[in-house]
Chains A and B, each alone.
Chain A
Amino acid sequence: MKAQDKQHLWQQLDGEPTDSGRAQPPRRATELDTEWKTRQLLHHSLQKMEAEQPSMRFVMNVMDRLPQLYKKITVQPLVHPRWVHAFLYMLTGAGLLYVGVVVHYVQTAEDAAVNLSPTIDWLLQFFALLPAQSWGMMAILCASYLFFVLLDRHLRKRFSKTDASPPKENSI
């Protein structure tokens, strides 16, 4: 039998010419041929071959030899979430109060008899005492605080995902 024919038989068994996969080699006319059947038998036997079993303690031996390379990074927020929530509630409250004062002022101003309630009057006077620079300072502080809170959240998410940057897998 020619080498080319032998190679062709193996290709048939591997399922290469038909793309039907090597698990089910195509049946053909030469199936009855001894050459074909011998190879088919060998092919099936190799497919049924089982993996060798290592010793029972293999896994434990590996685990015992592992160094502690990857440590869990414990990430804690810079600011306790309770303070963040308190700040956000305060900010929301102040915003609502401000809107309320403005709306109330507009409504009462439209009325002929302008009569602001003492509390609102006091608040307006209090706010009037503060110069514009103070408001600006407060706005900057609030914005900075918010920025750091958001930055903290972003970094916490990022570093809790991976602690080792993967360079190249071909370096082994």
Chain B
Amino acid sequence: MEDEDLQMIEAVLQGNQPAFQQLVERYQHFVFTIALRIVKSREEAEEVAQDVFLKVYKTLGQFEKKSKFSTWLYTVAWRTSIDQARRKQILTDSIDDEEGAFWQIATPDETPLQAVQHSDLQQQLQQAIQQLRPDDAALITLYYLNEKSVKEIADITGLTETNIKTKLYRTRELLREYLDAQLQEEIKDML
């Protein structure tokens, strides 16, 4: 994947603009998700994600290939989204203040009914993540969705590895507490 990225970058630098479209198609979902986790609005996330790709395109000649292209791209996405969030002063409530949401649980050997419940669980999880602090939501996304290591996340965010591990631990505990609080009896039945 990295080799293909580098080939496409070379092609773009040689004036083959359509090659950049392939890069956009490949990474649009991840960049958009990171932006959405931070700015919390789909419209704004779309604007931010577009700006990210524009910035990357304009500075593509500066990419030194010392790190993965995806790491460099997510660094731009992180910084652009954080800047936008600061500009708009996005404030979010912690999920433990949220009421009315509920979680449904599915076990690995799930029945069709449980599968439906599981898809609900995914939706509930998405909603819960949306209610997290922007940086915590983005960290969870980078760690799980983009499957970045703690070291790579440190490179992207500029935080220390210890700080990231602590934040990941706290965020996941927060999500778990939310899960416990919302499900109560249901979770006991499922487990």
Q: Which positions in A face B, CB cutoff 8 Å?
A: 6-7, 10, 34, 37-39, 41-55, 58-59, 61-63, 65-73, 160-169, 171-172
Contact = CB atoms under 8 A, between A and B. Distances in A.
Bin chain B's interface residue count: 35 or more
Nearest to B124: A45
A78 to B, nearest CB: 21
A72 B72 contact: no
B122 A171 contact: no
B57 A69 contact: yes
A58 B191 contact: no
A51 B29 contact: yes
Nearest to B146: A51
Contacts of B168: 10
A169 B72 contact: yes
Nearest to A37: B191
B17 A7 contact: no
10 contacts: A7-B169, A38-B187, A46-B125, A49-B126, A52-B42, A53-B29, A54-B29, A58-B28, A72-B14, A172-B79
A59 B144 contact: no
Contact of A66 (B15, B17, B25, B173): B17
Nearest to B150: A14
B144 A47 contact: yes
B16 to A, nearest CB: 8
A71 B61 CA distance: 13
Given A42-B176, A171-B59, 7 more contacts: A34-B188, A41-B107, A45-B125, A49-B141, A52-B42, A54-B49, A62-B53
B21 interface: yes
What are the 9 closest A-B residue pairs judged by CB atoms, nearest first? A72-B15, A164-B61, A51-B29, A54-B32, A46-B144, A52-B33, A169-B64, A51-B33, A62-B53
Contacts of B176: 38-39, 42
A165 B66 CA distance: 15
Interface-central residue, B54, B145, B175, B180, by most chain A CB under 10 Å: B145
A150 to B, nearest CB: 24
A91 B107 CA distance: 82
Contacts of B126: 49
B20 A66 contact: yes
Interface in B136-191: 140-141, 144-145, 168-169, 172-173, 175-176, 179-180, 187-188, 191
Interface string B38-69: 00001001100110011101111111111100
Nearest to B64: A169
B125 A70 contact: no
